[in-house]
Structure 1
């Protein structure tokens, strides 16, 4: 048996697994990625990347590459499919992020960019290799892998199952998804289109026959979806003619499809595993939670699972923190997954409503589109900027600062350097107001991160009365927020909350 007990094995080379692998490699952790598919998928799959994920991908150094392959969408538009008139428009321009838009980019492009970044960091995806068995003890995990040369067993330190809705890792740790496995059916096409609609919004078409969706991608390419009855028995995909017929009726004849890249039927499922950590094995993305594509939350939630886990696992794998830190992955992300399952279920039910319920939906959507406060709240929620870990054991707040520990770190316009740019340096980011203790704080933080002095815009955003500090985690959330910049406050947080072994103070 090969002994690689300091290595993290990532199972699955989709966006979630590749994000985790690249982040771990940035933190100097040995990573091995396996993928059962011999070739990358050509199916467009998840296409919408939201602001919170874009911030994380920016700190990983891949955002500009992704933007070159996708289309920035600044709004969502609800259209009456019979008249072609807009019922209401949700503008994302005021979203509290440097990325107030959805980036529509086909999943194969996202995977290619992330794989390229992982390779730059020394991680190579081993394709055609499947996980077939695992067993673990206090010191590591024995995994059996099957590839073209047969089976072999190796020992690794940790396993991350990011192997999708039919996860083998999930089965091998003895858990399963719990939830609803029968729901609405959709027909979907990925094709070039000709349309009179500008590619400036994701559009949902309401129609008595059922809703439709139009997602503009790069160039003339688009994703088209329709609510349908259960597909005919034995059919896995609609024909292009069937998709065009539905578009002619439900999109008012304004969308003409060319040769498709992908046609499929799918059924909406909503379910989640009871926990995300099983000793030295973790689940993330669709291996941990599945739900409707409504709101484009699935891939984004998985990317954020990976970002949450990676920095914690890096500290533990490198012997810098106690393994108990890893419990906070489940504590922080499981409630988020449960919330996403609930929210996407509601969005699907709202989008597919008919009769009197559809009338109520239209009134609600009018309010969303025409009341600025509601518009911003809905936009921020969809962009996943309202997710927080205020109740986490890792969120410690001292004093009267305006922002709260556990919240998404503010990154207001007007700051000298964007927080996401600063986070391109692996580790924590300690933002300090007042220079009295800065040298001592650098000594306490050591090689765990970077210390920067807050400019006037950040001081206003954090609301420090005189001096203070905020420790921004590598995933962009506030760990420690204090209106004191005394080094002992930081030292206590690192030792007590993060369980990092700290040298004794002199």
Structure 2
């Protein structure tokens, strides 16, 4: 496998491939990792959950700072103050972490798996055939070489060479905001709620947007990343020219006086900004490519979609692209993937990417509280409720009773606490079963399930394990009071408090099953357990 680009998207893809024992090479044209906070800060709750699975969440928490909420002012008046803490649905809160720290943490994890990024190496072209991809590379000294890979992942950012060679076009064209923006990292001497993202907007009576100041807290005392419109002198001198998207060293960066002027214009009276560490001007373009796959080549992250800088949507969406793609490509490399499995990457991720881009554009110049239910809005922004319900790769088969709730096919499979396993003195989490590179078959037995039915579930577990080459791990979750005969080939846990049955809608008698994919989404569910339907679903994912 060849991954082009060592940003968060490319590193995530490489980690997931390496975790599965797939030989992977990562190249990046940058000679050194990023060392300044010129990109995303916000790490979404769903990304934190992914990082737990990858084994880096503790390091991320230690390096970052929690974002507790958001305070919004419109025309100088506070209109919203939202507390993001205390939501039971969240396994983790919203973390503030500069992207260069994200890349350092993911890079270290990849190195621990035996893979180091080839830096100063640029992709100049590639060709593909039925068996693989031949990529042409040039290093920092100008030496040219070629490399062969079964598949290529283009995670090479907004100026993607992979996207350009594939001839991918932006759906509806690549759009650009007319305004020129600036960023700066400063200390601010105000009394705002600690850990709150603070936003001021000015909207005229005719609805025109004439001012914006967004301040994201960074680690430190009263340190913030400030984003606002560039001053008129910069709008007039370079704002009217052709400024590609992203950050540009070619232009003199804004000074502390420019940041101060923006705060004077929109922020609290008497506020002073000091200690400017870094600043830049940037232009925002947005759009999404017409397709995410061309044969053996895929695009992900900013190579596939460009976003307004709203809460790190671009970086977090790119990480989820890679999280969705890597397990599927790994199966294909091993020859274990069904013929249509790789097509599901575009079928699942492009609709998700388009929805995120469209919403980010729609709320870019508003007060951002566009939903009446603030809780639902935050869960959506954190991508906790993002789902693949329309995917051809997910489904369910039930009788008239059906499920009494629970995650629907394509939705994120939530964690459950309070499971017990013989020989273990402490409670287990459901994520203790699903964590890793495998799919998980959760077989639930309600009260009154007969010994013969339980032995049939054991036989099914053995068959599923064999037919998927061990890629699916089955577990039996037994309701309290269920008499379970000795089972040799099916691990048994007790749903001691009924938490699984409640969270997954399996309360009552009878059997049920959930297949949880390696990316943590429900692939299939059935109640009662229907072997033929389960096998038909597995045939959509695995060969044989």
* TM-score (ref. length: structure 1): 0.88
- Whole-angstrom CA distance in 1 between matches of 2:376 and 2:409: 20
CA deviation profile, 1:309-349 (whole Å, cap 9, x unmatched):
01111110111113421011001111111111110111113
Alignment of 1:103-502 (within 5 A): 103-149=95-141, 150-177=143-170, 178-207=173-202, 210-220=211-221, 221-228=223-230, 231-234=235-238, 235-253=251-269, 255-351=271-367, 374-399=373-398, 400-401=402-403, 402=405, 403-412=407-416, 416-434=427-445, 435-443=454-462, 444-446=464-466, 447-454=470-477, 455=495, 456-464=498-506, 465=508, 466-495=510-539, 497-498=540-541, 500-502=542-544
Residue 297 and residue 313 in structure 1: after superposition, are their counterparts in 2 closer, same or farther (change >3 A)?
A: same
- Whole-angstrom CA distance in 2 between matches of 1:437 and 1:204: 58
- Indicate the larger mover: 16-25 or 460-469: 460-469
- Whole-angstrom CA distance in 1 between matches of 2:433 and 2:517: 12
- Whole-angstrom CA distance in 2 between matches of 1:481 and 1:254: 59
Deviation at 1:436, TM superposition (A): 4.3
Q: Does 2:95 correspond to 1:51? A: no
- Whole-angstrom CA distance in 2 between matches of 1:344 and 1:23: 28
SS of the residue corresponding to residue 167 of structure 2 reads coil
Counterpart of 1:62 in structure 2 is 56
Higher relative contact order (CA 8 A, sep 6+): 1
Gaps of at least 5 residues in structure 2 are 204-209, 239-250, 420-426, 446-453, 478-494
Deviation at 1:249, TM superposition (A): 3.0
Q: Does structure 2 conserve the Cα–Cα contact (< 8 Å) formed by 1:426 and 1:449?
A: no
Residue 270 and residue 191 in structure 1: after superposition, are their counterparts in 2 closer, same or farther (change >3 A)?
A: same
Query: Greater helix share, 1 or 2?
Result: 1
Deviation at 1:421, TM superposition (A): 4.3
User: In angstroms, what is the RMSD of aligned CA positions?
Assistant: 2.2
Residue 198 and residue 439 in structure 1: after superposition, are their counterparts in 2 closer, same or farther (change >3 A)?
A: same
SS of the residue corresponding to residue 181 of structure 1 reads strand
* TM-score (ref. length: structure 2): 0.82
Residue 296 and residue 148 in structure 1: after superposition, are their counterparts in 2 closer, same or farther (change >3 A)?
A: closer
SS of the residue corresponding to residue 103 of structure 1 reads strand
SS of the residue corresponding to residue 153 of structure 2 reads strand
Residue 440 and residue 92 in structure 1: after superposition, are their counterparts in 2 closer, same or farther (change >3 A)?
A: farther
Residue 51 and residue 274 in structure 1: after superposition, are their counterparts in 2 closer, same or farther (change >3 A)?
A: same
Deviation at 1:26, TM superposition (A): 1.0
- Indicate the larger mover: 225-234 or 206-215: 225-234
Q: Does structure 2 conserve the Cα–Cα contact (< 8 Å) formed by 1:62 and 1:117?
A: yes
- Indicate the larger mover: 263-272 or 468-477: 263-272
Deviation at 1:396, TM superposition (A): 1.3
- Indicate the larger mover: 315-324 or 405-414: 405-414
CA deviation profile, 1:410-451 (whole Å, cap 9, x unmatched):
225556544444443221122221254443343213410322
Q: Does structure 2 conserve the Cα–Cα contact (< 8 Å) formed by 1:295 and 1:344?
A: no
**Quick one: which of 79, 82, 104 aligns to 2:73?**
79
SS of the residue corresponding to residue 210 of structure 1 reads strand
SS of the residue corresponding to residue 174 of structure 2 reads strand
Deviation at 1:232, TM superposition (A): 3.9
CA deviation profile, 1:228-265 (whole Å, cap 9, x unmatched):
46634244521111101211332114654333332111
Q: Does structure 1 conserve the Cα–Cα contact (< 8 Å) formed by 2:40 and 2:98?
A: yes
Deviation at 1:89, TM superposition (A): 1.7
- Indicate the larger mover: 15-24 or 402-411: 402-411
Length, aligned pairs only: 474
- Indicate the larger mover: 414-423 or 48-57: 414-423
Deviation at 1:90, TM superposition (A): 2.3
SS of the residue corresponding to residue 187 of structure 1 reads strand
- Whole-angstrom CA distance in 2 between matches of 1:124 and 1:170: 24
CA deviation profile, 1:68-122 (whole Å, cap 9, x unmatched):
111111212113574xx63212232354633353111000000000011111112
- Whole-angstrom CA distance in 2 between matches of 1:20 and 1:129: 18
CA deviation profile, 1:187-206 (whole Å, cap 9, x unmatched):
11123444322322111123
Q: Does structure 2 conserve the Cα–Cα contact (< 8 Å) formed by 1:58 and 1:421?
A: no
Residue 417 and residue 211 in structure 1: after superposition, are their counterparts in 2 closer, same or farther (change >3 A)?
A: farther
CA deviation profile, 1:369-395 (whole Å, cap 9, x unmatched):
xx6xx1111111111122111111111
Gaps of at least 5 residues in structure 1 are 1-7, 352-360
Q: Does structure 1 conserve the Cα–Cα contact (< 8 Å) formed by 2:40 and 2:311?
A: no
Counterpart of 1:358 in structure 2 is none
Q: Does structure 2 conserve the Cα–Cα contact (< 8 Å) formed by 1:96 and 1:380?
A: no
